[in-house]
A and B are shown apart, each in its own frame.
Chain A
Amino acid sequence: MSMNRREAIKGLSLGLAQISGLGLSVNAYALFQERDGDPIIPAQYRALISQIADTLLPEVDGKGALAQKVDVFLVNLFEQCYEEDKQALLINQLSHLDERAKKDFQKSFGMCSQEQRETLLIAFEQSDDDSEKEFFEIIKKETIKGFETSQVILEQHYGYQVAPGFFKGSVDITNK
């Protein structure tokens, strides 16, 4: 039923992907899975999710939340797997976080420096407000999960093999 709209989004994102400098949060649109009806998380909040993931796990040696497309995972996860009450909490707190940024630093979260963003997120982590705290816990937990279960991280940093074909119970550690 929203075929045309979906096509339009796909076309748009493909077009945008050609333009450099817009950031992965825009390119990532092409990877979002098809869903019924309107997106639950509006576009500006998807961008915010990408910025938070990028703040929690910024790129180091070419690897980070955005390089590993953790933001795409997060949006799909929140939209498809989270119950409505948690989705509402996430959207409320995303909005709240952006407002806090404007209040504390006179600019949107996305325009804040890494240091300012971390300050804002830590304030949520240490908040007395249960919703702020829970928001931080959810987004941090899922960002880490998305990162740790990505192919590059598992294979290059955790020695992951689908089918190793063997088990050795007692191996001498030589390198470390």
Chain B
Amino acid sequence: MNIQTSKSDRTYDAIVIGSGITGGWAAKEFADKGINTLVLERGRDVEHQKDYPTASKPPWELEYRGAVSAKRKAEYSYVGKFARAENVHFRLKDGEQPIVTEKPFRWVRGYHVGGKSLLWARKTQRWSEFDFEGPARDGYAVDWPIRYKDLEPWYDHVEKFIGVVGNRDNLDILPDSIVQPAFELSHIEKHFQSEIMRQYKDRHVISSRMAHLTDPQQIHKDQGRYRCMHQKMCNRGCVFGGYFSSNASTLPWAAKTGNMTLRPHSVVHSIIYDEQKGKATGVRVIDANTHEMIEYYARVIFLNASTFNSNAILLNSTSARFPNGLGNDSGVLGKYVAWHNTRARVTGWHKGFKDKKTLGKTPGGTYIPRFRNVHKQDTDFLRGYSVTIHSSRDLEADKNVIGSELTENILNPHLGDWEIRMLMTGETIPIEENHVRLHEEKTDKYGIPQIVFSCDWQENDMKQLADFHQQCGEMLDKAGFADFKATDSGRPPGSDVHEMGGVRMGRSEKTSILNEWNQVHQCKNVFVTDGSCMTSTGTQNPSLTFMALTARAANYAVEEMKRQNL
């Protein structure tokens, strides 16, 4: 990369920092509106189809059948046991970005074009008014500056483009999405659904809404995407584009307009603030290969670097005007971080329905939206949790023998009991103590300060967890399950990969960093629309909401540019 280019060559209308699920959306919206956009990605390029080395490979075609060589594993010690051949190439290499954990924290990163959009769980649930009103009603965090009606058209906009499967369930707690045909439930899930709906008034068991294509529309064909082929290999990149990712969808779309420039290997150091102009003028980038610092300029900057990196970039963007980080007069930047509690699991076994089995594979599952403390406070903890359900009736073989009996057993498997697995997604409450900040001395190999993590569970989380165990056990019991097992993984915060906040939206610049359009209160041409903007966390998988917020903010930014306000 020639960095001797003139300043005008390095000047764009908009800069988008990050190419993940929200960066891709910012890029697409800008490119569609004719905005000359630079997308900066700290990692390498990953081109749709071409750069998915393990896509569509059956187990016998994977080197070492999916195990990772010791030599390679040594490069991914932070990833540890999660290093699998299927997608180790999309994991974080040691030494890329050391962090300081004052309290245990697991930070999952996706440093390549597309980011974690290649690896996500693809669950797409809208927030409801109960979520936006939550903090104000229950007295935590600060009031959201927007409500459901503000985001509703943008949920529509995003869903039409990405493709969402599911049913129209008509629930106040989970507004309907624009859907394509849902994935079918398994026999045991259908049974569970009918029993729970019959025996509980407040609980809804629905087919998971997911960012897959079951009936591709013209808009999806125009993206070069095809129907989901039920490979169930969705964490490797999908050659069909059967699930949504930046790589399969928004980025190639933006590229096709000719208005987007994508620059991989670009680690953003900070945002440049111009004291005279009273606004940001660009960003400082460190080239990951040469370690040279390069400046890029734009009228508008979108920060979509992932929750903690967006926090860190703002904290590192210091100036005489903002000695504590860009837009941080309030001192709340980096604070009120929250996530989802996914530690709890309940597995149940049913002895019945021996005459039924499943065929094919499903990337889907079943979902129970939050039912605790919805219309009123009815427990001794705040908020609640949703339940994600998967099930199976697998072929089993007795392997407690050796010799020809073992060969025969494996060659002649039998169907086992129906099994159902219930996973918790609990809303954690943002508090000031749970925060990230920059280390005063330690830096990474780019000379950027290391991030210090100081995040811990609260008593409320443990009460929710106990209630989840108890309620799931009760539901399984009522649905006639013979046995169940409740477990707590005890994993540290961050393992959920749903980290949010630190750059929260709010009504007042005294208590929040962003306004109702995701603009930094005190630096209006900087927008932050990834998970860091979240005021509270809800119980939904958050990516759909991040995308809707991004599309809304990007379109607002374009309007403001037209009005010469930016």
A contact set with B: CB distance below 8 Å: 55-61, 63-64, 73, 76-77, 80-83, 114, 118, 121-122, 140, 144-151, 153-154, 157-173, 176
Q: Report if B222 contacts A (CB, 8 A).
A: no
Closest Cβ of chain B to A103, distance in Å, is 21
**A151 B183 Cβ-Cβ under 8 A:** no
**B229 A170 Cβ-Cβ under 8 A:** no
Closest Cβ of chain B to A36, distance in Å, is 9
**B230 A166 Cβ-Cβ under 8 A:** yes
> With a CB–CB cut-off of 8 A, which chain B residues contact A157?
410-413
**B406 A57 Cβ-Cβ under 8 A:** yes
**A150 B60 Cβ-Cβ under 8 A:** yes
B191's closest neighbor in chain A, by CB?
Answer: A170
Q: Report if B5 contacts A (CB, 8 A).
A: no
**A172 B64 Cβ-Cβ under 8 A:** no
Closest Cβ of chain A to B112, distance in Å, is 24
Closest Cβ of chain A to B316, distance in Å, is 38
Q: Report if B490 contacts A (CB, 8 A).
A: no
> What range describes how many residues of B lie at the interface?
35 or more
**B402 A166 Cβ-Cβ under 8 A:** no
**B407 A64 Cβ-Cβ under 8 A:** yes
**A58 B186 Cβ-Cβ under 8 A:** no
Given contacts A161-B360, A167-B360, A169-B362, 19 further A-B contacts (CB under 8 A): A58-B407, A60-B408, A64-B407, A144-B406, A144-B410, A157-B410, A157-B412, A162-B56, A163-B230, A164-B361, A166-B230, A166-B359, A166-B360, A167-B230, A168-B360, A169-B187, A170-B358, A171-B357, A173-B356
**Among the listed B65, B231, B395, which residue makes an inter-chain contact with A73, where contact means beta carbons less than 8 Å apart?**
B65
Closest Cβ of chain A to B76, distance in Å, is 13
**B410 A167 Cβ-Cβ under 8 A:** no
> With a CB–CB cut-off of 8 A, which chain B residues contact A169?
184-187, 189-190, 358, 362
**B65 A145 Cβ-Cβ under 8 A:** yes
> With a CB–CB cut-off of 8 A, which chain B residues contact A118?
402-403
> With a CB–CB cut-off of 8 A, which chain A residues contact B100?
none
**Among the listed B58, B184, B395, B413, which residue makes an inter-chain contact with A167, where contact means beta carbons less than 8 Å apart?**
B184
Q: Report if B482 contacts A (CB, 8 A).
A: no
Closest Cβ of chain B to A149, distance in Å, is 4
7 pairs, CB–CB < 8 Å, chain A vs chain B: A81-B68, A81-B73, A150-B60, A158-B413, A164-B229, A166-B360, A169-B184
**A80 B64 Cβ-Cβ under 8 A:** yes
The interface centre, meaning the residue of A153, A166, A169 with most chain B CB atoms within 10 A of its CB, is A169
**Among the listed B65, B68, B71, B414, which residue makes an inter-chain contact with A149, where contact means beta carbons less than 8 Å apart?**
B65
Complex alpha-carbon distance, A151 and B57, angstroms: 11
Within 8 A of A (CB), among B175-222: 183-187, 189-190
**A165 B229 Cβ-Cβ under 8 A:** yes
Complex alpha-carbon distance, A69 and B257, angstroms: 51
**A81 B411 Cβ-Cβ under 8 A:** no
Within 8 A of A (CB), among B393-415: 395, 399, 402-404, 406-408, 410-415
**B58 A168 Cβ-Cβ under 8 A:** no
Q: Report if B70 contacts A (CB, 8 A).
A: yes
Q: Report if B352 contacts A (CB, 8 A).
A: no
**A57 B68 Cβ-Cβ under 8 A:** no
**B70 A81 Cβ-Cβ under 8 A:** yes
> With a CB–CB cut-off of 8 A, which chain B residues contact A158?
395, 413
Q: Which 7 pairs, one residue from A and one from B, show the smallest C-beta to C-beta distance?
A: A170-B187, A167-B362, A169-B186, A149-B59, A164-B360, A163-B229, A167-B360
**A122 B186 Cβ-Cβ under 8 A:** no
> With a CB–CB cut-off of 8 A, which chain A residues contact B362?
167, 169
Complex alpha-carbon distance, A150 and B539, angstroms: 40
